[in-house]
Structure 1
């Protein structure tokens, strides 16, 4: 009786798993229909349902990445492609996940990340000429980007140097003007002091001159 009970449970679990597998595959097919109709939002919903039903359905995960990418949800799409690439065992399908990551990164001029994704794609499918072409193209674009960045950096450095030189020149000119102003003030003060000394000397000479005048002669009485 006990063995029969265990056997029935085993059958029910098998049927349940089979129905679950049918369910997630069916949801993927529905999602695919919406995707080809370019109804990407509804496709996304169906793929998410499929993943909720079976978290290991790599086709649903990959297709969800495609639906998100079609809606310009690039960051979310990359996460799904990374997950699909991580758990996918089929090398061809794995390579497609990394190829799509490369395409997204390339579109955002993230050439370093794109190159790494394309390299991973080629490791799994070396015969993919489209991926190889994109890889070579990104290498060239990365080099051009670096040259452009270096050129811009040199331009910015030269601009900063010119600004610093200009500020230093203005500072030196200001100091020179201040020094000339101080020298002029010192010269004016010296002239004022000299004039004051001359005037004081004249006044002193006048006072001395007055004090040295001869006294008036007195008439002497005649001797009668």
Structure 2
């Protein structure tokens, strides 16, 4: 009996708590709707700043309010704040529970993407909208426009890529040609340096460190000058020069004359003189 009473009390408590939670949720939903209505009135009067504040209050009361997020996105679209508008529309699409809510959210997502010239992404958004309402002619028309825009953008991207590739190829070819020209200039410069070094080497072979003729040339020039001054040939090694022969003959003549004078003197004295040496 005690256990039955305990379970009954627990059930009543949970029911009361659940009822209070539902009442709080209903109260929050009511407040959110009131702020949404207020925001709609402000948006109609084009007071978008005040409308934005009202929609934000609605979301703070009920975070999952699809109407508040969707209408706030529309206020951002009218004030040309497309980035915030896209964020709120995605929030509305995520929280939507009916096909109609999802269709309207994705349709407007496509419109915002088209304004941002993101045609390829817009195509996918319109396709998602048509999955929730295949009979909407406006969405179908927007999808067709988005497809044409996406194809044109793709063609333009391909053309730009081809142009970039061509420019890069031209740049690479130009760099290669410049490199070849530079290598050729360096090669010519090296050849000029080699020729200059060879000419310099030949010049050093002809002169000594002081720039004067070498010793061999000096000696040869000196010998030539001596020959010209004396007017006679130079003796060869191991031979007497004509001057030496002349001097020797004069010395021999002088010696013979002295011997002859001595013999004559001895004859006058009557003394016999030996003409040869004693052994």
Q: Same fold (TM over 0.5)?
A: yes
Q: Which residue of 2 aligns with 1:100?
A: 108
Matched, 1:182 2:190: yes
Counterpart of 2:117 in 1: which secondary structure? coil
Alignment RMSD (CA, Å): 3.0
Q: Which runs of 5+ in 1 are unaligned?
A: none
Matched, 1:78 2:86: yes
Matched, 1:207 2:219: yes
Q: Which residue of 2 aligns with 1:152?
A: 160
Aligned ranges 1:110-149 → 2 under 5 Å: 110-149=118-157
If asked which structure has higher relative contact order (CA below 8 Å, sep 6+), I would say 1
Matched, 1:42 2:50: yes
CA deviation after TM superposition for structure 1 residue 206, in Å: 4.9
CA deviation after TM superposition for structure 1 residue 97, in Å: 0.6
TM normalised by structure 2 equals 0.68
Q: Choose 91-100 or 11-20, whichever is displaced more.
A: 11-20
Q: Which residue of 2 aligns with 1:87?
A: 95
Structure (1 or 2) with the larger CA radius of gyration: 2
Return closer, same or farther for 1:217/1:195 CA change in 2, 3 Å cut-off. Answer: farther
Q: Which runs of 5+ in 2 are unaligned?
A: 1-8, 228-232, 235-240, 258-279
Return closer, same or farther for 1:14/1:152 CA change in 2, 3 Å cut-off. Answer: closer
- Matched residues in 1 for 2:201 and 2:18: separation? 120
- Matched residues in 1 for 2:54 and 2:163: separation? 52
Count of residues paired in the alignment = 220
TM normalised by structure 1 equals 0.82
Q: Which residue of 1 aligns with 2:270?
A: none
CA deviation after TM superposition for structure 1 residue 57, in Å: 2.8
Q: Which residue of 1 aligns with 2:268?
A: none
CA deviation after TM superposition for structure 1 residue 101, in Å: 0.7
